[in-house]
Structure 1
Amino acid sequence: MTSDTSRSSATRTDLDDAFLGQVTAAVRTAGDLLLERFTAQARATSTEEIVSAIYANDDAVLDLLKAPLLSARPGAKWAEDELAGGALPLGEWWIVDPAEGNINHVQGMPDWAVTATLVRDNEPVLTVVHLPLTGDTYTAVAGRGAQLNGAPLHVSAKTDLRAALTGTGQARPGEDEETFRRIGASVTQLLIHGLVVRVSVPATLQLIHVAAGRTDAFWQFSDVRSGLVAGALLVAEAGGTVTDIDGNPWNLAAPDFLAAAPGIHAAISTVLSPLA
């Protein structure tokens, strides 16, 4: 997946403004409910309470979001496990995170969103990311660019990795120890070769900044679909380069992920690829 919006496979004449409007309305309505459930104080003190609150958020928002999306796209299937990775069977699928950054929501922090992405034959073709706390909505349609509240998004023009603000983060709880070691080693390498590194969750909330040119790259040692597909499309449609860490075109079967401004992509891939 790259920023080449001229490719014929990205011309999706059936993904018109009316359909995008339907998806956007559904995601915003779901976001209103998630906002009602938010408090700026952490509301859980044990692992069990945190997990319970996370599931409660997911269940409440999905009850509001799933039916409108399936109705808007008859025949599209629903990817049930939001922490799953890997390729899906061919056809159209909804990959949705009803509370992207759910742990932040539960902990009273501001970095959370509602996302809905339509994937066709394992390529994201339409996405909506809504941030209820700010009211901002990020959208992208394959071949038609990425937008924030209707205004075009463009990735950073930087060409020097030494000037780059980059980021990574943990994809899911309970990753294996080797993945944690790679995360730590990659942060060290980018602290050496870049300017500043952000380590935070969720992935989508970092990737919207890459798409908007506020940060310059994001990488992750993970294949969790729900955290990557929305941001992958937003970055690509904003002119960025989206690959695996070795620089191969990214797809849902890739074991890892790199999205960057074109001017620093090769340099960051060179730094990270020995760790992949």
Structure 2
Amino acid sequence: MSGTPPTTDLTPDTTTVTAPDADLLDKVADAVREAGLALRERFGEVVRHETREELMRALAANDDTALEILRPALTRLRPQARWVEDELDGGELPAGEWWVVDPAEGNVNHLHALPEWAVTATLVRDNRPVLTAVHLPLTGETYTASAGGGAHLDGRPLNVSATADLGLSIVATSQARPDEDETVVRRVGASITAMLFDALVVRTSVPATLHLTNVAAGRTDAFWQFAGARADLLPGALLVTEAGGRISDAEGRPWTPQSGSFLATAPGVHAQAVATLSR
């Protein structure tokens, strides 16, 4: 791993990494690619909906399409691992191995014929992510990371940017969910305003995972979010960590899925980003 060690309780424990984990990652990547192909076949036209119920049915149809492939494939690969049933869940998991999967990350974009969506699968062991695969079906890109094994894009190593000036940085944030309470919404708005003063460019869009792949690849320099689910943040947290980035909450404290905020940055701008978000 390159760069400054990340400040997070989820920093992978490389002493637990085993050769079978590395072999497993290739097969997980195959599974998310297969699920992505199925979703790509459903992509193209805007899916119209007049009510919240119609929207939820359309979202569920995409999820089910991918899960019909992912659930049996991942269960065969790791039958002892339990399955997180709700992709919107947050907080700590019980001990042991868990599959944390988002079958259609950015699902609402898919329904609106927008290109920003992906399929993700992350194996979590005793609350530490040990491997992840993120596939972008429209570009064909697959991002992978394993604890202690680095982060890669289609086999090429990833490294976060060397930027050391927030004023020269592209930063990004994402809306965790459309029904956040007023306190979170106002905090998001204030943080965007603060970053508009301190950063070069501020991007705001969903989903979080695609912003985090950009941080891991050195294309953008920081990403933050208030609230959020495990499936939103764990894949990107491992990718950024293994690409040499720093992970914390918005105040610079160690991040866990129970934290109320999340920050992933290139090491050189972490302190500046914390100062901006803590105002």
Work out whether residues 97 and 226 of structure 1, in 8 Å CA contact, stay in contact via their aligned partners in 2: yes
- 2:171 is paired with a residue whose SS is strand
Given residue 42 of structure 1, which amino acid in structure 2 is its aligned partner? V
What is the Cα deviation at residue 78 of structure 1?
A: 0.5
Distance in 2, matches of 1:14 and 1:174, equals: 42
What is the Cα deviation at residue 143 of structure 1?
A: 0.5
Greater relative contact order (Cα 8 A, min sep 6): structure 1 or 2? 2
- What is aligned with 2:201? 196
- 2:13 is paired with a residue whose SS is helix
What is the Cα deviation at residue 45 of structure 1?
A: 3.4
1:95-174 equivalences under 5 Å are 95-174=100-179
1:213-228 equivalences under 5 Å are 213-228=218-233
- What is aligned with 1:74? 79
Work out whether residues 117 and 230 of structure 1, in 8 Å CA contact, stay in contact via their aligned partners in 2: yes
- What is aligned with 2:63? 58
Q: List runs of 5+ in structure 2 lacking aligned partners.
A: none
- 2:241 is paired with a residue whose SS is helix
Distance in 1, matches of 2:193 and 2:20, equals: 42
Given residue 246 of structure 2, which amino acid in structure 1 is its aligned partner? T
Distance in 1, matches of 2:256 and 2:165, equals: 27
- 1:67 is paired with a residue whose SS is helix
What is the Cα deviation at residue 14 of structure 1?
A: 4.4
- 1:156 is paired with a residue whose SS is coil
What is the Cα deviation at residue 74 of structure 1?
A: 2.2
What is the Cα deviation at residue 120 of structure 1?
A: 1.1
TM-score (norm 2): 0.93
Work out whether residues 217 and 260 of structure 1, in 8 Å CA contact, stay in contact via their aligned partners in 2: yes
What is the Cα deviation at residue 159 of structure 1?
A: 0.3
- What is aligned with 1:9? 13
Work out whether residues 94 and 117 of structure 1, in 8 Å CA contact, stay in contact via their aligned partners in 2: yes
- 1:81 is paired with a residue whose SS is coil
Distance in 2, matches of 1:240 and 1:220, equals: 16
Given residue 144 of structure 1, which amino acid in structure 2 is its aligned partner? G
Q: How big is each residue's C-alpha offset from its partner over 1:79-102, in whole Å with a ceiling of 9 and x where there is no partner?
A: 111011111111111100000000
Counterpart among 45, 50, 65 of residue 49 in structure 2 = 45
Distance in 2, matches of 1:207 and 1:69, equals: 23
Distance in 1, matches of 2:66 and 2:205, equals: 23
> Mean alpha-carbon deviation: is it higher for 10-19 or for 134-143?
10-19
1:217-256 equivalences under 5 Å are 217-256=222-261
What is the Cα deviation at residue 13 of structure 1?
A: 1.0
Q: How big is each residue's C-alpha offset from its partner over 1:205-231, in whole Å with a ceiling of 9 and x where there is no partner?
A: 111000000000000001311100000
Q: List runs of 5+ in structure 1 lacking aligned partners.
A: none
What is the Cα deviation at residue 49 of structure 1?
A: 2.6
Work out whether residues 3 and 239 of structure 1, in 8 Å CA contact, stay in contact via their aligned partners in 2: no
Distance in 2, matches of 1:8 and 1:237, equals: 9
What is the Cα deviation at residue 9 of structure 1?
A: 1.9
Compared CA separation, residues 18 and 189, structure 1 to 2 (3 A)? same
Compared CA separation, residues 138 and 3, structure 1 to 2 (3 A)? farther
Given residue 265 of structure 1, which amino acid in structure 2 is its aligned partner? H
Identity of aligned residues (%): 56
- RMSD between superposed Cα atoms in Å: 1.6
Distance in 2, matches of 1:208 and 1:243, equals: 17
1:83-98 equivalences under 5 Å are 83-98=88-103
Compared CA separation, residues 158 and 8, structure 1 to 2 (3 A)? closer
Work out whether residues 12 and 129 of structure 2, in 8 Å CA contact, stay in contact via their aligned partners in 1: no
Compared CA separation, residues 151 and 3, structure 1 to 2 (3 A)? farther
